[in-house]
Amino acid sequence: MGDTLGMDRRTAVGAMAGLGVAAVAGTAMGAGDSIPRSELGWDAQKKEYTLPPLPYAYDALEPHIDEQTMRLHHDKHHAGYVRGLNRALAALAGIRSGEVDASLIKHWSRELSFHGSGHVNHLLFWAGMAPAGEGGGGEPTGALAEAIARDFGSFQAFTAQFQAAAGAVEGSGWAWLVHEPLADRLMVIQMEKHQDLTVSGVNPILGIDVWEHAYYLRYQNRRKAYVKAFSNVINWTRADDLLARSRA
């Protein structure tokens, strides 16, 4: 009742996961399990997604990720994905009610996948970083450190693969450390755009955005320098927590 999108929040997220929202988030988990529901930006009153604030100041990741990049990235690019997600959900509701041409369902479903994944990916990205020396950087500890050593041979070997994957994403996309819960294995995957080339059912542990909007102001074409600098702001405590959630 009063649901302008024709679906409640849980249904919306379920649909997002099923259609590839954060396909990295995968059908096994859905976004809600890796991001506290209160941080997902769902406005239960308006029945639409909103853009949550960054979990730290815009300049908190300096000098590795600059303030201007963070402002544009969060306030413009991420905000655009939220708008696109809401637009797609509204259009699909319109298809259900007969107010939107049903022959456009393929278009709007693709829009849902792209923008919904863009929204969730960025939430995961922001939460996956912390100011250098204040929760960011260093090496993983605990269960995640053990799993990385088991599945990649060493932290150094993991880092080399992760950075190489990030550096070699063709066009715009991401690199992710993910956990495949059925076999309890970690793997590194590339993702083109916000949702292509993922592996079904895996849960995100750590991701780096390698769209040019994530680094071009400071690093220009030197993506590898940005990827290397990213290691100084990785929030390994958060990553370890996501592994625990994935294994639960």
The residues binding Fe ion (CB under 5 A) are: 209, 211
DSSP tag of 73: I
Nearest approach, Cβ of residue 211 and Fe ion (Å) = 5
The Cα 223–Cα 168 span in angstroms is: 9
Nearest approach, Cβ of residue 71 and Fe ion (Å) = 13
Nearest approach, Cβ of residue 104 and Fe ion (Å) = 26
Nearest approach, Cβ of residue 194 and Fe ion (Å) = 8
| 42 neighbors 9 (Cβ within 8 angstroms) | yes
Nearest approach, Cβ of residue 115 and Fe ion (Å) = 12
Helix (H) or strand (E) segment spanning residue 209: strand 203-209
End-to-end alpha carbon distance in the chain: 34
Residue nearest to Fe ion (CB): 209
| 236 neighbors 139 (Cβ within 8 angstroms) | yes
Give the residue with the Cβ less far from Fe ion, 209 or 240.
Answer: 209
Give the residue with the Cβ less far from Fe ion, 48 or 209.
Answer: 209
**DSSP-derived 3-state class of residue 120:** helix
Give the residue with the Cβ less far from Fe ion, 188 or 210.
Answer: 210
Number of C-alpha atoms within 13 angstroms, CB side, residue 106? Answer: 1
The Cα 10–Cα 40 span in angstroms is: 11
Q: 4-24 burial string, b = 16+ CB within 10 Å, else e?
A: ebbbebeebbbbbbebbbbbb
Nearest approach, Cβ of residue 52 and Fe ion (Å) = 15
Give the residue with the Cβ less far from Fe ion, 111 or 209.
Answer: 209
Give the residue with the Cβ less far from Fe ion, 176 or 211.
Answer: 211
In the chain, the amino acid numbered 76 is: K
Backbone angles phi, psi at 168, to 5 degrees: -105, 5
Give the residue with the Cβ less far from Fe ion, 79 or 160.
Answer: 79
